Structure 1
């Protein structure tokens, strides 16, 4: 168009010139041709000036545009950098205030401690228990119990009853003592109401006089605005604690001995720099003194330590009351909200729920819990013994008793940020895999957790999902591991803190959504549950879209987990942390051509659930149905993932099985005998593009686990055969994660990295296998009887072994040995291993 306008202007000038010549010639004025020629030279000069002006104007315009474009470009790069820590632009899922759900305001939301209480408030104070035997205390505080630590080697600990809302009861075996900790809440008012906690201790050697020191502490986070003080109690020789925060208002904490003998007591009021150093602060100031009555040496706390070296006074943010007792002994700790009392016009009740009143309240809660548990899971009706039912109660209670409340910001990094940057600050209400080893939120674990939690309490499950989806950024990414707040950071090595937005995690929340919208659809019209799903739906859309854009393969219809590209040459097989199956063997040489069968099946399942949810909410489900049907096509699945050699499903990529770790000298030119040898991976035969079909295991089962295979598929028969083959996946304790015939079976990935998903038995995948077997057993088809028979045997094996190992060791474990059935990994692991309760109840 610009060129056309320019040409049109030139034509106009020519015509004008021509007309001018004709006019001059006809009139004869200025008569001679020379004058005509002179007259024609003037417009030529004018045109030249115009052209120069146009050129200069164009360059100026281009220069100006460039000046605008450069900052715009860098501004756009800056915008891209900020996307990783920009929240999804929609109304928050968590809309309630901390006090809105009074029944769930206070709770045992500190799963990383043996017994700790806090509120669902970003600036909550914390309370909790420490204890130690004065005869066994080390010089640096070794022996003080506080954090749940595997190294403490406790014989057993865990919740035996916990309803997730109003009470919990726990037993802790720490030789030679058994401690019982419990709490009952009495919700009222606008500040969360009251609660009472009880600590009972007995010595398992009745004639032993070994003392035990119990410490109850109250602490404010470094950013919590509030105050703590101690004063004398009217009803007890022990001091009481008074405090105030913006969320709780005024409160008082009483210590009431119920029975037993107190040898001596003391307290500490001081300042701590962080919640992660409570035990260290206490152990650094405890000292020996001489008891005035007995003249014996005793351990005591020094009272107030509130002055610095310059003599300046500080307000205490940490108060600990220590009592040394002879067992048996029982102490009640009664929390009272003075602000709730004032707002109701009441006085402090004369008969606080301690002693017999508390005993009666706890007993009533326990009876109510037993009745509700049987109504929910019907295990007695199924013929389980009382001890087996008690095991199931403990497993479920540890799941809901392990729910924590965290607040803080993750550390994240994208390909566009040179360094890690902080995510926005947010709360997270979530269950945790393990109180000792993983007391924080994990994305793919949580979907499995919610299967059990939603069966027990669908509102808690929805509340947890709301918190997780508030952590979605504008791109649709959710960090797979949540390390929020001082207490969570205290348990994580620095190298694992940063989360990278290229890495996904299996979208297991769709398992929970499938369960809720099918089994509990009749409950969705109550308590605003349907409205919650309405608000959740746009976030789910963006989430599934993120998977469908960031995790797709190079060939249409295929998918690839990101994060394997940066493998180290000291790994036997590069890890795939994003998949959740960490060291499960994939293609030996990761590249962009890889295809991962499990991820494809996750997306197939997720789009099917999205279609169901869209239909439930009256939305257009056509897009998700179309994708689901496309990915469910067994012929297309076979084209991309069925090995023609083994007739099994597998990954595809650049692969060789002939790999090994070989020790080499770091500097081959120096042959010093003490030189450190380093193991790196070598391959004896070069890799080629092919199916990774020699590593049959959990990943190979996914078309079956996600129930994508048609009931008449001949490849379903092959999977059922391999499942039941002792040389492949079958054991007397559950399905092993990798075939015994695989070259990677039980191989270490590095010298310091023992096998993880290379043979051990995992309960979450056994749950999915039993769910799929139950499905195919009820579908008309040639393999329904085989599926039914295998289902019965596998369910028996899994349930029996988990219960046997619990009775033997006192714990539910992260995984189980495929040769002996013994628990392995970390303990207690009452995350997805607690799905054994749903297996017992046959609720899938």
Structure 2
């Protein structure tokens, strides 16, 4: 065998030499084969590693990738060419009085003021709306959202009235004039400085027109790419003007204008009669060798009260201007718009016919006007994060045209608030409302997620604590935009052009719905769970559910994957029904969404999942115990003395079951009209609503029943109760809308619903009006014990729904 093998190998070698082929030994061949295999394995591993790396990059990019679907709005929808009527506006809701355009880099115009009779250093200058200023009252008395507005600001012993009117013309949104009047509210003499400014946001030029031999700016010439050339003019003021001053400087950012102004103030001389110094602006503070010109100019008037001033903005593109919008011409146009506002308000809301007094009607006008006057325009990018991002990343740069809940405390966009805002706005001006809803839907990313809090631009970012800036894509918010969309659909369908926008809205609604239907699913079919609760917290009595909008409302005491929430299920039922309705209205197949809506609206399945037989109420489900308390922890041995914050102590092991806290969440099947009008459960629910030990008060429905263990309890040592007893107007609006529905729908409980409706509506209106008269404000929420306004003020977001409640408009 061995000899034959060797002979055969020699034969092969000989033949290979004859035919010119190399000869390799078996050992070498095996080695090369191994090398090839190893190289292939390495290549496959490298490809897998590269693929994994690319996939991880893809996952990290998802959170900041726009949805690949036609946007509802065109890119130039807010330009002067596309919509000159709303190009200019009081879109700086964070300021007491400020104007800008609906363009990303608009110059900012606004007003500051100071009381010269102050002993504080530096002097208290009013600019951004701030509860710390402790103003007696401020807010819009009339505002139509388009053409004009009139506002009163009560500051100590004087009142500032701001009016503005726009007039079309040219190609940059026309002209506008602001009229500012300052008058005494007491017999004490007053001395006030008004300071009106213009500031550039990264681009443009400003050139002052200075008076000869006087520290006064007569006008400011400006240029920006979006506005072209313009002129800001300061005509002579009326009254006893003591002096004029100005400031020309370089502000470090549009969010630092007040700081730049304070830096430019000097004490010029003492007013011996009043024994106070004059605080005046320091003139031109930009050196001639500066790399760029000034971006911030301020005109200051210091005068004895009363006095008034005008500011005229005129676009150079308006070459056919018939006259200057000032004096009698301004007052005449202001009166014309004011009368149109009165007529439209009367026809829209019919409050005279409902027997309201003149004072109550003025209150309703102020509620509407403050909602419209609080609409802002923001541009920038949110900071967002997903589980695939180690650090927050910027969303894409985008615009947002939106209402804000509170000019002083929440001057930015909130997703769940905005749906309620537009219930009112859509009744007044459906075009504005459609525009707002469209802006929000265009902020949807490719996952179908919309960041629930929009903090866009430097001014907005400055008002938010760092812990609330980053938005996380697993966190939802109630899809309240569906509420105004229900009423907007008939308006949109009136024209073929508008119907096309509905065809762009629908895919976004479907994507949004699918995001909820995948990320917020509960543990068993047809259940839903608000994600984002902190499972590890030891400081909170009950882990907050910020995503639900109801913050500290009691949920399962121990968050787990086993819990599910009745309010989110009801939102999803309403959402699927709207998509089905829109689909049918534009001729698309609605079968899948109709089926989903039928399942989520099925009262039998709802009862099976959420009805607590023990408490006879609708409830969340989860791992829960009521036996919890905040206590000081015992210091550890040899621990140095220090303040130890209270921690939660659990006195009874939690059990899986219903969370029987009676309050707003328990009422959601009624609030969103999921429960059939013939359901026998309505009798029990209506009876519980009227129970004063539960949610009924003489001022409205409280958020949490008094018999619930966490009623009015602090959630941490420092966090007072928020949704644990206070009266909230948005939820009371839903309750009144539901009672109005059930009192009209055929069923055995109509009379019970009617009695509740009439009494609740009267209680709510009377208390809100009385508090407005007493305090000058509409409030974030109201005390369930006294009816007093609580929380931040003015809160003319969803609390302004009182106008719809007065007019009995719920659809």
TM-score category, normalised to shorter length: over 0.9
> Equivalents in 2 of 1:444, 1:247: separation in Å?
32
Deviates more, 1:312-321 or 1:793-802: 312-321
CA-to-aligned-CA distance 1:786-829 (integer Å, 9 cap, x gap): 11111111111111111111111000000000011010000000
> Equivalents in 2 of 1:105, 1:138: separation in Å?
39
Match status 1:131 vs 2:108: no
CA-to-aligned-CA distance 1:517-561 (integer Å, 9 cap, x gap): 3xxx15632483222211111111110000000000111111100
> Equivalents in 2 of 1:81, 1:566: separation in Å?
25
Contact 1:228 1:317 in 2 (8 A): no
Contact 1:814 1:824 in 2 (8 A): yes
Contact 2:118 2:276 in 1 (8 A): no
CA-to-aligned-CA distance 1:49-78 (integer Å, 9 cap, x gap): 999887765554333222211111111001
Contact 1:257 1:330 in 2 (8 A): no
Aligned runs of 1:240-259 on 2, under 5 Å? 240-257=219-236, 259=238
Shift of 1:225: 3.4
- Match of residue 4 from structure 1: none
Contact 1:233 1:254 in 2 (8 A): no
- Match of residue 431 from structure 2: 459
Shift of 1:94: 2.4
Match status 1:158 vs 2:139: yes
Do the aligned partners of residues 428 and 614 (structure 1) sit closer, same or farther apart at CA in structure 2, a change above 3 Å counting? same
Do the aligned partners of residues 68 and 714 (structure 1) sit closer, same or farther apart at CA in structure 2, a change above 3 Å counting? same
> Equivalents in 2 of 1:698, 1:307: separation in Å?
61
Match status 1:642 vs 2:611: yes
Unmatched 5+ stretches in structure 2: 14-23
- Aligned to 2:125, the other structure's residue is in SS state coil
- Aligned to 1:626, the other structure's residue is in SS state helix
Match status 1:552 vs 2:533: no
Q: 2:404 aligns with which of 423, 426, 432?
A: 432
- Match of residue 204 from structure 1: 185
Which protein has the larger Cα radius of gyration, Structure 1 or Structure 2? 1
- Match of residue 112 from structure 1: 94
- Match of residue 30 from structure 1: none
Q: 1:670 aligns with which of 638, 646, 667?
A: 638
Match status 1:266 vs 2:245: yes
CA-to-aligned-CA distance 1:347-401 (integer Å, 9 cap, x gap): x65x412111111111111111000011111111212111111111100000011
Aligned runs of 1:57-456 on 2, under 5 Å? 58-95=37-74, 96-99=77-80, 100-136=82-118, 138-141=120-123, 143-206=124-187, 208-221=188-201, 223-232=202-211, 239-257=218-236, 259-290=238-269, 298-307=278-287, 312=290, 314-341=292-319, 346=320, 351-456=323-428
Shift of 1:668: 1.1
- Match of residue 765 from structure 1: 731
CA-to-aligned-CA distance 1:705-751 (integer Å, 9 cap, x gap): 11111112122221111111101010011000000000000000012
Number of aligned positions between the proteins: 794
Q: 1:753 aligns with which of 709, 719, 727?
A: 719
> Equivalents in 2 of 1:302, 1:36: separation in Å?
108
Contact 2:622 2:657 in 1 (8 A): yes
> Equivalents in 2 of 1:66, 1:567: separation in Å?
39
Q: 2:653 aligns with which of 677, 681, 686?
A: 686
The normalised TM-score by structure 2 is 0.94
Contact 1:181 1:198 in 2 (8 A): yes
Do the aligned partners of residues 235 and 57 (structure 1) sit closer, same or farther apart at CA in structure 2, a change above 3 Å counting? same
Contact 1:565 1:591 in 2 (8 A): no
> Equivalents in 1 of 2:672, 2:558: separation in Å?
27
Do the aligned partners of residues 557 and 51 (structure 1) sit closer, same or farther apart at CA in structure 2, a change above 3 Å counting? farther
Contact 1:479 1:501 in 2 (8 A): yes
CA-to-aligned-CA distance 1:567-626 (integer Å, 9 cap, x gap): 521100000000000000000000111111111111011001110011111111011101
CA-to-aligned-CA distance 1:93-143 (integer Å, 9 cap, x gap): 2212521110100100000000000000100000111111111152123x2
Match status 1:806 vs 2:764: no
CA-to-aligned-CA distance 1:457-502 (integer Å, 9 cap, x gap): 0110111111111111110100000000011011111111111111
- Aligned to 1:424, the other structure's residue is in SS state coil
Contact 2:576 2:593 in 1 (8 A): yes
Contact 2:242 2:302 in 1 (8 A): yes
- Match of residue 807 from structure 2: 841
Shift of 1:681: 0.5
- Match of residue 676 from structure 2: 710
> Equivalents in 2 of 1:180, 1:600: separation in Å?
47
Match status 1:468 vs 2:463: no
RMSD (CA atoms) = 2.5
Contact 1:567 1:575 in 2 (8 A): no
Aligned runs of 1:788-803 on 2, under 5 Å? 788-803=754-769
> Equivalents in 1 of 2:34, 2:774: separation in Å?
90
CA-to-aligned-CA distance 1:259-316 (integer Å, 9 cap, x gap): 31211010000000011211121122211224899999532211100029xx646411
Do the aligned partners of residues 703 and 247 (structure 1) sit closer, same or farther apart at CA in structure 2, a change above 3 Å counting? same
> Equivalents in 2 of 1:522, 1:286: separation in Å?
53
> Equivalents in 1 of 2:595, 2:787: separation in Å?
44
Match status 1:534 vs 2:534: no
- Aligned to 1:528, the other structure's residue is in SS state helix
Match status 1:740 vs 2:706: yes
Contact 1:137 1:144 in 2 (8 A): no
